[in-house]
Amino acid sequence: MPPSPDRSSDPRAYDLDALRDRVLPHAEGEVDDSIPELADADPDLCGIALALPDGEVRGSAGSDVPFSIQSAVKPFLFALALVDTDGEALDRIGIEPTGEAFDAIKLESGTGRPPNPMVNAGAILTASLVDGEDVAARVARAHRGLSAFAGRTLEVDESVARNEHLLGDRNHALAHLMRAEGTLSVGADDAVEAYVRACAVLVDARTLAVMGATLALGGVNPVTGERVVPASVACDVVSVMATCGVYDGSGRWMRAVGVPAKSSVSGAIVLSAPGQLGAAVVSPPLDEQGTSVRGHLASEIFSRDLGLHVFAALCYRRRYDSTARASDS
């Protein structure tokens, strides 16, 4: 659909604070309570950020408030696993959407593979595939890689990591199931530890937007100029984000927003608009699919206003044709 007539389609002039004010009254949804740190999140937090190809990063109020990245880390773990296995990760993990919850105790029938890298089973496996002779080495490699995506050294919230590990019964169950199927080659506890420590990395909306932009721009960080992953890896990751990144809401997301994205139970959404920019929104109250309510709405609005929908030309044509038919009748 075309940009709204009252808003600039230039991301450098786009009023992110006005967008934030527009979505703030939407108080629907529930804050995740799977661990105490998430349950204590401020439901009124809302931050929006854009990261542009020239390295400029723009953010609204609230865009510098830190939070644990949680499931928004999954595309980046997948990218690192693809690099470190020379693409073998594509054979170890499926890439099809499931239509089920992100933590469903389910593997592919006949193969024992996780259905895709954006659900917990797939992310646990990708975390086990990054380089390292033991769990400590894999954790360190993942941390370096995530920091390269961010363009700065990231910190880990140790309390989040500890509680994710202690209270993540379904993650442990998934890891043991993959061990039983012969899919997971490291110890189940080690695989979960590597995954939850990645989920416990602290970011803010501005940093997460830079990470999204690094994928959107073919693997090159727009702030540092560093090539973090090959363009082919970025293409693979963004493609899977488009089909699986918002779990069983991915189809609705792509129709309404049209930008590959990954949601998170911390209320964060990272978006990668191919060749254009990266974006991030954080607001903890979640809908039934585990996606930020305000984040979904904000993403839909700025995607429309900035013409980011991957099928923007077709959306515009649909609106044009509808208008023409109405004027002819």
Q: pLDDT per residue over 29-65, tens digit each?
A: 999 999 999 999 999 999 999 999 999 999 999 999 9
Rounded to 5 degrees, what are φ and ψ at 249? -110, 10
* Domain CATH for 268: 3.40.710.10
Structural domain contains residue 252: yes
How far are the Cα atoms of 55, 128, 145, 312 from residue 74, in angstroms, in the given order? 23, 12, 12, 27
* Residue at 220 is within a domain: yes
Q: Which residues pair with 278 in a beta bridge?
A: 51, 272
Residue 269 and residue 296 in contact, taking contact as beta carbons nearer than 8 Å = yes
Is 171 among the annotated ligand-binding positions?
yes
Tell me if 1 is assigned to some domain.
no
Torsion of CA 207, 212, 213, 217, to 10 degrees: 150
Q: Is 14 annotated as a binding residue?
A: no
Instruction: List the beta strands (DSSP E) in 95-177.
Output: 155-156
147 is in an annotated binding site: no
Query: How many domains does the chain fold into?
Result: 1
Across the range 264-272, mean pLDDT stands at 97
Q: Is 320 labeled as ligand-binding?
A: no
**93, part of any domain:** yes
Please indicate if the annotation marks 247 as binding a ligand.
yes
Hey, what amino acid is at 10? D
Q: Which helix (H) or strand (E) holds 51?
A: strand 47-51
Tell me if 209 sits within 8 A of 49, measured CB to CB: yes
- 119 domain residue, yes or no: yes
Output DSSP code: residue 4.
P
* C-alpha atoms less than 13 angstroms from C-alpha of 118 in its C-beta half-sphere: 33
pLDDT band at 100 (very low <50, low <70, confident <90, very high): confident
Residue 197 lies in a domain: yes
- Tell whether residue 164 is among the known ligand binding residues: yes
Task: Flag whether 71 is marked binding.
Answer: yes
Range(s) of the domain holding residue 212: 16-328
The reply to whether 4 falls in a domain is: no
| Residue 316: per-residue pLDDT | 58
Within a domain: 103: yes
pLDDT at 281 over 80: yes
pLDDT at 327 over 80: no
Which helix (H) or strand (E) segment holds residue 86: the answer is: none
Cβ atoms of residues 157 and 37 within 8 Å: yes
**Residue with token string 């086990």:** 128
